[in-house]
Amino acid sequence: MPNNQEQFKDLLRKNGLKVTNQRIAILEALSDRPGEHLTAEEIYDVVKKDYPDIGLATVYRTIQLLSELNLIDKLNLDDGYVRYEIGSENPEENCHHHHHLICLDCGNIYAFQDDLLENLESRIKETLGFDVVNHEVKLYGYCKECINNRAVKSN
Amino acid sequence: MPNNQEQFKDLLRKNGLKVTNQRIAILEALSDRPGEHLTAEEIYDVVKKDYPDIGLATVYRTIQLLSELNLIDKLNLDDGYVRYEIGSENPEENCHHHHHLICLDCGNIYAFQDDLLENLESRIKETLGFDVVNHEVKLYGYCKECINNRAVKSN
DNA sequence: CTATCTGCAAATAATTTGCAACAAA
DNA sequence: TTTGTTGCAAATTATTTGCAGATAG
């Protein structure tokens, strides 16, 4: 959506930052791939198609910027890469109800929404006095396809 | 407990691995600090007191070994270090009900137990066919002490 | 014009690896 | 013995940083 892009430009200006082609291209690369979880290198490769002169350092710097502006979410799968995905349009529900299922077999990542922690978090506030403001939930296991494939192979 | 140490030795032998002072010392370093979350470097510093000749590479190799044997749990706080802690005595409940509260102010980590995900996981199995075998839950926020400190300072 | 960005190359820093010497079985 | 382990140093690799030139406002 071009609307989204205008919002981004305004957000940059509002923070005394400059609107550059590189920044727009990087945000677009992620916007065009909702639900995908790209590494810095992968974003670099995508953006390089339209922008062959871009440097990897710019990608890293822009990713950090977008993350601070809460436009993208970080995801660390402990495989040596930090991954990024575009946030939901509604910033309120951004990370808070957005969790990940990670298949240990094929490596695919499935997102799901759930507010299961709301309850727990108020209980923690009451019993421990700890005020939870954010959370990260990763569920590891085996996806439908991989379970089926295994069943087929073992026959 | 020396009992624990004997179990470890047996486990090593059972897997065709050798019992070495270094391995025992590293497991002890973690066993002596339940609930602490040590980096490889921190473990190295602890073990070096009793074992000045140990190399950092051995610490890394042993950590990996202990992790594969499910004797220790990994914790990644996205601060550039991977941390490790001794698992609970009961291997069944090891990670599964063990979650972390991370204070964004003081950096302290508080563990808590909860089986809140059991429910969700069976729901996921039913609706998506995804079989969850493990999970990682991190809750970020502010601990009681830091909340109090802030209140005091703002007066 | 001038403050911010960019691309490059070099620096950083956690972790891994090759290998010869060493220690457990 | 023989097989696995260690310590060292070098390699690897994701990410960061310094800086001079480029670009947005």
**A79/A103 Cα distance (integer angstroms):** 13
pLDDT band of B93, cuts 50, 70, 90: low
Query: Is nucleic acid strand D under 7 Å from B16's C-beta?
Result: yes
Specify the CATH number for B96-155; select among 3.10.20.30, 3.40.50.2300, 3.30.1490.190, 1.10.3720.10: 3.30.1490.190
Q: For residue A80, give the nucleotide whose C1' atom is nearest its CA.
A: D14
Q: Which residues of chain A between 20 and 39 are close to nucleic strand C, CB under 7 A?
A: 20, 22-23
Contact B37, B86 (CB under 8 A): no
Residue B3 has pLDDT above 80, yes or no: no
Q: If residue A84 lies in a helix (H) or strand (E), which one and from where to where?
A: strand A82-86
Higher pLDDT, residue A38 or B118: A38
Q: If residue B10 lies in a helix (H) or strand (E), which one and from where to where?
A: helix B2-14
pLDDT band of A3, cuts 50, 70, 90: confident
Contact A57, A43 (CB under 8 A): no
Total Cβ atoms within 10 A of residue A78: 11
Fold of the domain spanning B1-93: Arc Repressor Mutant, subunit A (1.10.10)
**A18/B107 Cα distance (integer angstroms):** 34
Q: Which residues of chain B between 55 and 94 are close to nucleic strand D, CB under 7 A?
A: 55, 57-58, 61-62
Interval A4-29 mean pLDDT: 96
Q: Cβ A78–B76 below 8 Å, yes or no?
A: yes
- Provide the 8-state DSSP code for A93: G
C-alpha Rg value of chain A to the nearest Å: 18
The SS3 assignment for B82 reads strand
Interval A94-119 mean pLDDT: 84
Total Cβ atoms within 10 A of residue B91: 11
Q: What is the pLDDT of residues B27-44, one digit of tens each?
A: 999 999 998 999 999 999
Residues of the binding site of A for Fe cation: 97, 118, 135
**A123/A117 Cα distance (integer angstroms):** 10
The residue ranges of every structural domain in chain B are 1-93, 96-155
The pLDDT, as a whole number, for residue B79 is 85
In B104-155 the beta strands, taken as DSSP E runs, fall at 109-113, 131-142
Contact A64, A81 (CB under 8 A): no
**B35/B85 Cα distance (integer angstroms):** 6
A133 CB neighbours in chain B (<8 A) are 104, 140-142
Q: What is the pLDDT of residues B94-122, one digit of tens each?
A: 556 789 999 988 888 998 888 878 888 99
pLDDT band of A89, cuts 50, 70, 90: low
Q: Which residue has the tokens 């890469």?
A: A81
Q: What does the block give as tokens for A143? A: 């996806």
Q: Quick one: what percent of chain B has pLDDT higher than 90?
A: 71
The reply to whether B1-93 and B96-155 are identical in fold is: no
Q: Which residue is nearest to nucleotide D7 (CA to C1')?
A: B55
